[in-house]
Structure formats: C-alpha cells, structure tokens
Amino acid sequence: MNRLATKHKISGLVALSLAVSAAFSANAHADISEADVLAAQKAWGDAVVMLSEHYAEGGIEKARNSAREVIDSAYGYTMGPVLFKPTLAAIPQNIRLTAEGALAYFVGHDEAFPNDGGFGIKGWAAVEFENAAIHLSGPVAMSMGNVHFTHNDGSVTTVDKSFGYQLDDAGNLRIVLHHSSLPYGN
C-alpha cells in the first residue's frame, strides 16, 4: 500500500481503498478465501491506525471524513443492516445497525451517541489479529479471535473480535457482522 501511495502520490486512505478493492476483485459468484479474510483484517487494522493519525493531524473533521470513507468501502451497509456490536458501548446503544452508529463509535463527537468516546481516534499505533479460526463458506466467511491494539504509549489492549464477511453484487468483500468485547474478567 505504501508503494502504491508513493507511486501515485495519493492519500493513505485512497491507497487503502485501492488495496482492499484489489484484494477482492473477484466476481459475485466467487468464494472468499482465507487470504481474502486476512487481507480484510489487515486493511481494517490499518484503517484504525489511520483514523488515529488523521485525528492527531487534522482533528475530528479529518478523522470523521476518513472514517466515513472506510465505513463505506469496508462495511456492507448498502446490502442491509450490518450487525455491529462495538467493544465499549452500553445499552441501549450497544448494538448498531446503521453506518451512522458505526461512525459515532469510531470517532465519537455525535450528540445522538453521547457516550461514544471515539475508539478509532484513541492514538493507536498498530493493530494485530490473532485468529482462533476462520470459517469459509462460498461467498460468506467468518472469523473469531483476539485483536491486539497497541497504543502510541506502548500499552496494549486486547479484545475478543468476530467478523462476518460477504461478497456484494460487484464481488467486493464487505463486513456484515462486527462483534467486539473485552475478555471476561477485564
């Protein structure tokens, strides 16, 4: 992705979108592979780090605009509701079915979601997936495991994470389920 961004002198966000699109340039009848899931996880983790960077560089508006683009390119909201359960969201807003709910979770600063602090803008420096398993079933895939978020100060937060993926009509891999929680006892 960095090579693509340098070569074409385009923003990191556009490069990320191009990398995701290239990784999933299959047709709508193709099967999702393990490599596709791993590429989607890497792109998602890179996007979280990018949101923190954009927030530090340009404030909430830059982060919000970037988050909108990431959500539009990675999640399947045009296919129907996305089953989105963020890590740090309390009842009655603990389950989000709209892109607006996801946006509020990632960047906060939304009066409709007053308890959201902006998980994606907390200063993340790295994101690493540790899959327990990946289930592949044609145009649908699921993954479950731990995700380790490394903060700029070096501390690490680990969450339990499940993702569901589905190919859209154009053959693009989309997140249709995003469930996250803190491990029991944390």
25-79 pLDDT, tens per residue? 444 458 999 999 999 999 999 999 999 999 999 999 999 999 999 999 999 999 9
Would 12 be classed as within a structural domain? yes
135-154 pLDDT, tens per residue? 999 999 999 999 999 999 99
Sign for the pseudo-dihedral over CA of 1, 42, 139, 87? negative
Q: What is this structure's pTM?
A: 0.83
Would 27 be classed as within a structural domain? yes
Would 172 be classed as within a structural domain? yes
Provide the number of structural domains found in the chain: 1
Would 55 be classed as within a structural domain? yes
Q: Which residue has the tokens 């929680």?
A: 181
What pLDDT was estimated at residue 141? 98
Would 186 be classed as within a structural domain? no
